[in-house]
Amino acid sequence: MQSIKKNFFEFFELSESYDLDIEELSERYHELQKEFHPDKNFSETEAEKMRSVQLASFANEAYETLRSPLKRAAYILTIRGYDAELVDQSDLGMDLLIEQMRLRETLEELPKDESAFPDLEKLKKEVKEKLRTKQSNFALDAREENFVNAKKTFHELQFLYKLMLEIEENEELRLDY
Amino acid sequence: MALLKISEPGKRQSAINTKPAVGIDLGTTNSLISSGYRGNIEVLADTSGQFLLPSVVRYGKGVRPIVGWMAKEAAIGDPQNTVSSIKRLLGRGTSEVENMPQFEQYTFDASRDEGAPAIITEAGVKDPIQVSADILSELLSRAHDYIGEDIEGAVITVPAYFNDAQRQQTKEAANLIGLPVLRLLNEPTAAAIAYGLDSKEEGNVIVYDLGGGTFDVSLLCLKKGVFEVLATGGDTALGGDDFDYILSNWIAKQVYSDENPILEERGRLIAYANSVKHHLSLHESADLEFNNWRGSLNRKEFLEMCEPLVKKTINTCRRVLRDASLSVEQIDNIVMVGGSTRMPIVRQALESYFGRAPLAAIDPDKVVAMGAGIQAEVLAGNKSDNDFLLLDVNPLSLGIETMGELVEKIIPRNTTIPVAKAQEFTTFKDGQTSMIIHVVQGERELVSDCRSLARFELGGIPKMVAGAAKIRVTFQVDADGLLSVVAQELSTLKMSEIQVKPSFGLDAKAIEEMLRSSHQNAELDMELRAIKEAQIEGRQLIDAINSAREIDGDLLDELGHNHLDNLMHELSENISNGTIEEIREATERLNRVSSDFAASRMDLHIGHALKGEAIDNIDR
């Protein structure tokens, strides 16, 4: 029987790891939802219905957290007793800050209309590449249980995700919405 | 345990269950019905071989209502008694109809100020439920000819954005003619079912639905019988009609010197433009003739004319992909729904954006009805192997009002439901004993730009200094999209809760409008938010000084009081009328001057504490 007291990895019966097989995760999620989802539990008692909603909600939250590379990293830090939200200035190296400034300047200098789309795509690709590298760094740190390093890498990931979000917002501003 | 029935050779193969079921696509312009027939799901045609039934009903005196093609033809000669586009009125209030020009020709029953708008016809007063029921009844009689009178029930499709009231009234229309509703199914899901389960496709699917007057995009992930809605988007005021309109303007420009021919020519022009559009879907070019004018038009020219419209739909796809964090390469299939997707210019635009050809195996007019038919078979127990589950999302963000009329989002749009999310809030003033929880829906940052869903009060908060109390607000959305909100003070565990219907009264148009304005105003919102925050900070400082003066006012001489009064007055003036810089500067000045007062209070209270006075007495 599934319990909402378990941590998200246990809930999906997956071993705790940053290198998660997303295919496997989504398969487990679908299997569990086929069991818990209120649409699959029609004629139950009120208490059972409530439990079905709670389990389905918990499954959704767990899935949403583990599926996202950033949320998954924060979650691993949290269950290991590190406060992912607390940023220690010493965690952020000078190189990182200089690179962030360069990337941001590139973004700001792009033309403010649709002609910027190819360059936005290019910038996105560059950031994606960096994200991929940092993600494998985090996976390595986590595997070696070096969570102090992992936390630094997590903050670097945060910067890159924030930048990605801004690139996408920039894209949106240039659409006719 | 159910016993398996063994059918005799040659008899109907699908005899697992006893009764057939039907799938109905109850559309704004056209409706269709499908059923398991001769072992397959088929869309059923009328006696003249037509699959589409125009969703038009003519109410003549003393005769049965006429539904479909004949009614559509009559609409020109008898507009007052011929009702079309009734789907747009489902779930609406009488007052909402005033802003809908396409219903101008009808006389609405003025005696109903509340509730559904009802049209006065020669055959009596007809509300949207009755008109929808008449359309359903015509479809059902078509099914009777194929599969007999004894029908288990129907799956009826509705737009994904349909709110609770609109869904409820769709059900009531079926109840009115005694047709059991097995399920209301979202249209994009039905389309995906038609393709997904029939051909066993798996992967990420874009459902691109361009109908006569509306446009919807849904991104679904299909896997082993689970349909996960990843994101949705659309435009309720964009459809095939807009292409007709643009083309008719172009023709008018050729025929007349300006684009505005007299009104009766307008109707003819649009009908002509529509036929030209259809011709261009089948041929590279069209020879044109209107009144005494002759000309020609090819596809390329037509594409140039309509490019802004097509681009708009592609941009919506782009945004939906963004919401789901997917790139075009990750899309495995594009399903086309709606007659307007027959236009080659639409198909080409989709193909060039997604880098793959859209699926075209099923007629885009029939695909929703097909999916409904398949789902009907499943629910009636005729197809037990196709056991699928739909994981849907909430279309708009849900949040709560915080200080300064700002919105704190608690459940962002496109979150899979059911879902429960909690966030902690605190009190704004010293000794605050109650808190108003104002629940809002929308993407904007200011409460006034979002839709208010509910407001309730959490009382009995123990008196504490501002910021000390902890109130946890939990939002829960169930699988039907119904929201309940619970607020709980964490030291006393006192609770207050409310149930709201998040989409009630919020129609697709309003959702569209709110999404659109949220994008246009993203920057404006940031500025407004900054100014609001400065105002809050200023007001908090004034409140803090006032409550400190009540207690320790005797620490200040008259000059000190006057000085504070002046600065506080200056600050409140700026809070009401000043710029953000002015507010910040005034706050800073007041802060500096009051800090001496604060320091002397501190000395006094430490002195008291050292003398052994109870801490409680320090902060009365």
Position with higher pLDDT, B307 vs A6: B307
Please report which confidence band the pLDDT of residue B351 belongs to, taking 50, 70 and 90 as the band edges.
very high
How many CA atoms are closer than 13 Å to the CA of B444, on its beta-carbon side?
A: 23
Q: Which of A30, A40, A60 sits opposite B418 (nearest CB)?
A: A60
Please report which confidence band the pLDDT of residue A176 belongs to, taking 50, 70 and 90 as the band edges.
low
Using the beta-carbon criterion (under 8 Å), do A60 and B478 form an inter-chain contact? no
For chain A, the DSSP string reads ---TTS-HHHHTT--S-SS--HHHHHHHHHHHHHHH-GGG-TT--HHHHHHHHHHHHHHHHHHHHHHSHHHHHHHHHHHTT--TTPPPGGGS-HHHHHHHHHHHHHHHTS-SSGGGHHHHHHHHHHHHHHHHHHHHHHHHHHHTT-HHHHHHHHHHHHHHHHHHHHHHHHHHHTS--
Please report which confidence band the pLDDT of residue B508 belongs to, taking 50, 70 and 90 as the band edges.
very low
Cα R_g (chain A), whole angstroms: 20
Residue B245 CB neighbours (<10 A): 16
Residues B6, B20: Cα–Cα separation, whole Å: 17
Query: Which residues are CB-contacts of B300 (< 8 A; sequence separation ≥ 6)?
Result: none
B381, pLDDT greater than 80: no
Mark whether B508 and B431 lie in a shared domain.
yes
Cα R_g (chain B), whole angstroms: 31
Encode pLDDT of B105-115 as tens digits. 788 887 765 56
- Report the pLDDT value the prediction gives residue B130, as an integer from 0 to 100: 94
Residues A117, B329: Cα–Cα separation, whole Å: 17
Please report which confidence band the pLDDT of residue B4 belongs to, taking 50, 70 and 90 as the band edges.
very low
CATH number of the domain within which B143 lies = 3.30.420.40
B-chain residue closest to A167, CA distance: B322
- Report the pLDDT value the prediction gives residue A134, as an integer from 0 to 100: 94
Phi then psi for residue A18, to 5 deg, are -75, -35
Q: Which run of H or E residues covers position B497?
A: strand B495-500
How many CA atoms are closer than 13 Å to the CA of B205, on its beta-carbon side?
A: 28
Phi then psi for residue A147, to 5 deg, are -80, -20
CATH number of the domain within which B580 lies = 1.20.1270.10
Distance from CA of A43 to the nearest CA of B (A): 15
Residues B338, B212: Cα–Cα separation, whole Å: 8
- Cα→Cα distances B362→B143, B189, B209, B371, Å: 21, 15, 13, 11
- Which 3 state secondary structure label does DSSP give B564? helix
- Cα→Cα distances B413→B81, B179, B216, Å: 41, 34, 16
B568, pLDDT greater than 60: yes
- Cα→Cα distances B286→B283, B298, B348, Å: 7, 6, 19
- Cis bond leading into B418, ω under 30°? yes
Q: Is B43 inside any structural domain?
A: yes
| Mean pLDDT, rounded, for A61-78 | 94
Is the Cβ–Cβ distance between B338 and B209 less than 8 Å? yes
Position with higher pLDDT, B324 vs B613: B324
Residues making up chain A, counted from first to last: 177
Residues B378, B386: Cα–Cα separation, whole Å: 7
For A23-48, the DSSP string reads HHHHHHHHHHHHHH-GGG-TT--HHH
- Identity of the residue numbered B443: E
B331, pLDDT greater than 80: yes
Position with higher pLDDT, B306 vs B110: B306
Tell me, yes or no, if A63 comes closer than 8 A to chain B by beta carbon. yes
Q: Is B592 inside any structural domain?
A: yes
Strand extents, DSSP E, B385-450: 389-391, 398-402, 406-411, 419-425, 435-441
ipTM score assigned to the predicted complex: 0.81
Percent over 70 (pLDDT), chain B: 84
- Report the pLDDT value the prediction gives residue B42, as an integer from 0 to 100: 92
Q: Is B102 inside any structural domain?
A: yes
* Averaged pLDDT of chain A: 87
Mark whether B26 and B172 lie in a shared domain.
yes
Q: Is B470 a catalytic residue?
A: no
> In the 8-state DSSP scheme, what is residue B87?
G
Out of B160, B179, B198, a domain closes at B179
Is the Cβ–Cβ distance between B149 and B165 less than 8 Å? no
- Report the pLDDT value the prediction gives residue B372, as an integer from 0 to 100: 93
- Which 3 state secondary structure label does DSSP give B65? coil
B-chain residue closest to A124, CA distance: B327
Mark whether B514 and B539 lie in a shared domain.
no
Residues B169, B380: Cα–Cα separation, whole Å: 23
Q: Is B294 inside any structural domain?
A: no
Please report which confidence band the pLDDT of residue B609 belongs to, taking 50, 70 and 90 as the band edges.
very low
Distance from CA of B519 to the nearest CA of A (A): 6
Residues B327, A38: Cα–Cα separation, whole Å: 31
Using the beta-carbon criterion (under 8 Å), do B415 and A39 form an inter-chain contact? no
Q: Is B49 inside any structural domain?
A: yes
Tell me, yes or no, if B391 comes closer than 8 A to chain A by beta carbon. yes
Cα-Cα end-to-end distance for chain B = 72
- Report the pLDDT value the prediction gives residue B610, as an integer from 0 to 100: 41
Residue B319 with chain A: CB contacts under 8 Å: 172, 175, 177
- Cα→Cα distances B493→A112, B402, B489, Å: 51, 21, 5
- Report the pLDDT value the prediction gives residue B522, as an integer from 0 to 100: 57
Out of B179, B209, B227, a domain closes at B179
Q: Is B189 inside any structural domain?
A: no
Position with higher pLDDT, A85 vs B329: B329
Q: Is B555 inside any structural domain?
A: yes
Please report which confidence band the pLDDT of residue A127 belongs to, taking 50, 70 and 90 as the band edges.
very high
B-chain residue closest to A63, CA distance: B416
Encode pLDDT of A140-173 as tens digits. 999 999 999 999 999 999 999 999 988 988 887 7
Q: Which of A20-29, B237-246, B324-333, B351-360 has the lowest mean pLDDT?
A: B237-246
Out of B520, B544, B576, a domain closes at B520
Residues making up chain B, counted from first to last: 620
Task: Give the residue numbers spanning the domain of B130.
Answer: 22-179
Query: Which residues are CB-contacts of B4 (< 8 A; sequence separation ≥ 6)?
Result: B16
> In the 8-state DSSP scheme, what is residue B322?
H
User: Number of structural domains, chain B?
Assistant: 3
> In the 8-state DSSP scheme, what is residue A92?
S
Using the beta-carbon criterion (under 8 Å), do A38 and B318 form an inter-chain contact? no
Q: Is B489 a catalytic residue?
A: no
- Which 3 state secondary structure label does DSSP give B336? strand
Strand ranges of the sheet holding B406-411, from the earlier edge strand across to the other edge: B406-411, B398-402, B435-441, B451-458
Mark whether B32 and B159 lie in a shared domain.
yes
Mark whether B536 and B507 lie in a shared domain.
no
A136, pLDDT greater than 70: yes
Please report which confidence band the pLDDT of residue A14 belongs to, taking 50, 70 and 90 as the band edges.
very high
Chain center to CA of B151? 32
- Cα→Cα distances B449→B250, B409, B525, Å: 38, 14, 10
For chain A, domain boundaries = 8-67, 89-173
A117, pLDDT greater than 90: no
Tell me, yes or no, if A23 comes closer than 8 A to chain B by beta carbon. no
Residue A171 with chain B: CB contacts under 8 Å: 318, 322
Position with higher pLDDT, B325 vs B600: B325
- Identity of the residue numbered B389: L
Using the beta-carbon criterion (under 8 Å), do A53 and B479 form an inter-chain contact? yes
* Averaged pLDDT of chain B: 81
- Report the pLDDT value the prediction gives residue B520, as an integer from 0 to 100: 52
Strand ranges of the sheet holding B419-425, from the earlier edge strand across to the other edge: B419-425, B471-477, B483-489, B495-500
Encode pLDDT of B421-437 as tens digits. 988 888 888 888 888 88
Please report which confidence band the pLDDT of residue B188 belongs to, taking 50, 70 and 90 as the band edges.
confident
Q: Which of A167-176, B62-71, B515-524 has the lowest mean pLDDT?
A: B515-524
Q: Do strands B226-235 and B215-223 pair parallel, antiparallel, or not at all (unpaired)?
A: antiparallel
| Mean pLDDT, rounded, for B198-203 | 60
- Report the pLDDT value the prediction gives residue B614, as an integer from 0 to 100: 34
Encode pLDDT of B274-304 as tens digits. 999 999 988 999 999 988 889 999 999 999 9
Mark whether B47 and B160 lie in a shared domain.
yes
B116, pLDDT greater than 50: yes
Q: Is B430 a catalytic residue?
A: no
- Superfamily, domain A8-67: DnaJ domain (1.10.287.110)
> In the 8-state DSSP scheme, what is residue B273?
H
Encode pLDDT of B121-170 as tens digits. 999 999 999 999 999 999 999 999 988 888 989 999 988 767 667 777 89
Please report which confidence band the pLDDT of residue B10 belongs to, taking 50, 70 and 90 as the band edges.
very low
Among B93, B173, B168, which residue's Cα sits nearest to residue B131? B173
- Report the pLDDT value the prediction gives residue B114, as an integer from 0 to 100: 59
Mark whether B569 and B479 lie in a shared domain.
no
> In the 8-state DSSP scheme, what is residue B86?
G
Residue B411 with chain A: CB contacts under 8 Å: none
CATH number of the domain within which B407 lies = 2.60.34.10
Range ranked top by mean pLDDT from A48-57, A135-144, B83-92, B534-543 = A135-144
Between A and B, how many residue pairs show a Cβ–Cβ distance under 8 A? 70
- Report the pLDDT value the prediction gives residue B6, as an integer from 0 to 100: 34
B500, pLDDT greater than 70: no
Mark whether B532 and B497 lie in a shared domain.
no
Mark whether B59 and B100 lie in a shared domain.
yes
Q: Which of B224, B318, B479 sits opposite A38 (nearest CB)?
A: B479
Mark whether B409 and B507 lie in a shared domain.
yes
> In the 8-state DSSP scheme, what is residue B68?
S
CA angle B502/B507/B509 to nearest 5° reads: 135
Query: Which residues are CB-contacts of B18 (< 8 A; sequence separation ≥ 6)?
Result: none
Mark whether B442 and B460 lie in a shared domain.
yes
Among B344, B383, B331, B336, which residue's Cα sits nearest to residue B362? B336
Mark whether B509 and B573 lie in a shared domain.
no
Please report which confidence band the pLDDT of residue B454 belongs to, taking 50, 70 and 90 as the band edges.
confident
**CATH 1.20.1280.20 matches A89-173:** yes
Please report which confidence band the pLDDT of residue B66 belongs to, taking 50, 70 and 90 as the band edges.
very high
Q: Is B293 inside any structural domain?
A: no
Tell me, yes or no, if B455 comes closer than 8 A to chain A by beta carbon. no
